[in-house]
Amino acid sequence: MHFHPELSLPPSLAPGTLRVVALGGLGEIGRNMSVVEVAGRLLIIDCGVLFPEDTQPGVDLILPDFSYIEDRMGDIDAMILTHGHEDHIGAVPYLLRLRGDIPIIGSKLTLAFLDAKLKEHRIAPKVIEVKEGDRITAGAFDLEFVAVTHSIPDALAVFVRTPAGTILGTGDFKMDQLPLDGRITDLRSFARFGEEGVDLFMVDSTNAHVPGFTTHEKEIAATFDRLFAECDGRIIIASFASHVHRVQQVVDATAAHGRRLAFAGRSMVRNMTIAADLGYLTIPPGLLIDAKAADDLPRGKVVFMCTGSQGEPMAALSRIANGDYKVEAGAGDFVILASSLIPGNENAVYRVINGLARLGATVIHQGVARVHVSGHASAGELLYCYNIVKPRNVMPIHGEVRHLLANGKLAVETGLAPENVLLGDDGVVIDIRDGVAKIVGAVPCHYVYVDGASVGELTDAELKDRRLLSEQGFVSIFAVVDSTTGKVVSGPTIHARGVAEDDSVFDAILPEIIAALEDAAKGGGVDTHQLQQVMRRVLGRWIGTKLRRRPMIIPVVVEA
């Protein structure tokens, strides 16, 4: 589904107009990125990645499409990062390859997580650290930052003031009134911005379809306490590597029950070391041990905190489930998936759960116990925000189509006219002038695949070939044809891979292929490419009829 399939490229930006271009995060959970433009100057808000699904085999990451701005890198005044999750900062290294000195604005923890990532890419960024309450100028943009509660510390919303209009972007947020760090979403500032006038309210949509209010983080502590008391074996907890609040709860439960804690997974170790060094994570002395030292302790005295809650194949939890990691799970052990299930990851997560269950471990997830609460505002919280801010226009962001639609409906229920709710897909362009916002076009916004060392080289057609190979198999056919007479002098020889039948099953079709080749060559003027297509067509039709498959067929014809 596309909200506006008829859209063409937008017109040139008119004087006195504020433009927003969404390069990701609309219709998907990930690769969040928006570009704000006024008077020829650009401001980027977030630059994240999307993680691949089963239908994208071999893909490591999916980036926003930078083609809209790649010829305008010199026009960028700054890039704001609202918080330190991968779907908001993961693509920054790839953007900085185009221009390495873009000023990056973010909170202390966000910039620390980014710095660790950029060191792996050997990039030294130009950063500007801000905190809630700060107001700074970045080129053409007047920026004020506001505290919001999320599932990671130091998350910020941003109010963007320009001569052509104002934007309030929430980033990812919720309205937890009992956050672990005592840092609540600053609704006073939201109200103040509303009184000043918000021309466009860009609002997190992830939980817009969920009634009521998101559960308090503190309610998970009781669940952890009960599970820790029940388990006589090892406890393995998987979460996002940036979920500092969840890790703090695990630290507290570990200490309360006389266990020792080990981090497993490179990103978990890196991020929690950063969080502890900066004071966002408090670990009692002597609690933390190296994962290798856990074997020297009784199973009932160990807790592992690891990555892999989304079934990522190379993450620690998947490797534990496969039995090829330094941490083992077995009978009497509890494995707790302390995170939500991101849409598209269901199959991968269930494979990990089944693998762990096969080893004898008890797997506990959000569906059977309160081991996770969302970091996003539910419908009741969003209604509060709309009534407090009273924006002139609303643009739901960060969500699949169903989330965006639900968020837009909430805005209308609070009294906003339907025409002032701007629903769009990735690439949509919105212009704001004198408080009136309109969708004026769309720019190309394709998936950009990171595949090993290549970035943007893998195409959708090649992904289709990969899926075909994995699902239907591969058949090669080779023949040598006399260049003068057109007679087949050798072959055809057929070999199949990923096909259940033996190669001998193809003997029945060989005479028909030879006849088709010689018939095609009778008139002369036929090149090897055309003969290859003849072989592909005849063999493909036979396989489809007799074997009921559609494998990839690679024909090769050599002239002699």
CATH assignment at residue 281 = 3.40.50.10710
The CA distance from 242 to 349, in Å, is 19
- CA-based angle 284:288:293, to the nearest 5? 155
Is the residue at 386 inside a domain? yes
Domain that holds residue 165: 24-212+374-451
Does 387 share its domain with 333? no
Does 50 share its domain with 163? yes
Q: Give yes or no for a contact between 306 and 318, defined as CB atoms under 8 angstroms apart.
A: no
Last-in-domain residue among 316, 345, 364 = 364
Please state whether the peptide bond connecting residue 396 to the residue before it is cis, i.e. omega within 30 degrees of 0.
Answer: no
The CA distance from 545 to 88, in Å, is 48
Does 238 share its domain with 109? no
Sheet holding 235-238, edge to edge: 260-264, 302-306, 235-238, 334-337, 362-364
Q: Is the pLDDT of residue 80 over 90?
A: yes
Is the residue at 148 inside a domain? yes
Task: Give the residues across from 497 on adjacent strands.
Answer: 474
Last-in-domain residue among 394, 416, 451 = 451
Q: Which two tokens stand for residue 534?
A: 């003849």
Is the residue at 231 inside a domain? yes
Domain count, the chain: 3
Q: Is the pLDDT of residue 525 over 70?
A: no
Does 175 share its domain with 255? no
C-alpha torsion angle, residues 436, 47, 188, 394 (rounded to 10): 30
DSSP class of residue 524? S
Q: Scanning the structure block, which residue is given the tokens 């797997």?
A: 363
The CA distance from 439 to 20, in Å, is 10
Does 260 share its domain with 379? no
Q: Is the pLDDT of residue 523 over 90?
A: no
Strands 126-129 and 103-106, how do they pair? Answer: parallel
Q: Tell me the pTM.
A: 0.83
Does 271 share its domain with 255? yes
CATH of the domain at 132: 3.60.15.10
265: number of Cβ within 10 Å? 25
Is the residue at 409 inside a domain? yes
2 — pLDDT class (breaks 50, 70, 90): low
Q: Give yes or no for a contact between 42 and 72, defined as CB atoms under 8 angstroms apart.
A: yes
122: number of Cβ within 10 Å? 7
Does 155 share its domain with 205? yes
Is the residue at 233 inside a domain? yes
Is the residue at 286 inside a domain? yes
The CA distance from 508 to 405, in Å, is 56
How far apart, in Å, are the Cα atoms of 487 and each of 447, 476, 517, 539, 551?
47, 20, 8, 18, 27
How many residues belong to the chain? 560
Does 119 share its domain with 205? yes
Q: What pLDDT was estimated at residue 468?
A: 63
User: What would the mean pLDDT of 71-99 be, rounded to a whole number?
Assistant: 95
Does 290 share its domain with 360? yes
Does 195 share its domain with 250? no
Q: Is the pLDDT of residue 42 over 70?
A: yes
Measuring CA to CA, which residue among 280, 39, 284 is closest to residue 180? 280
228-273 confidence digits (pLDDT tens): 999 999 999 999 888 899 999 999 999 999 999 999 888 899 999 9
Is the residue at 6 inside a domain? no
CATH of the domain at 466: 3.10.20.580
Does 395 share its domain with 490? no
Last-in-domain residue among 451, 470, 486 = 451
Does 423 share its domain with 541? no
Is the residue at 369 inside a domain? no
Instruction: Give the burial class of 393: count Cβ atoms within 10 A of its Cβ; 0-12 exposed, 13-18 middle, 19 or more buried.
Output: buried
DSSP class of residue 3? S
Q: Give yes or no for a contact between 378 and 214, defined as CB atoms under 8 angstroms apart.
A: yes
172-215 confidence digits (pLDDT tens): 999 999 998 999 999 999 999 999 999 999 999 999 999 999 99
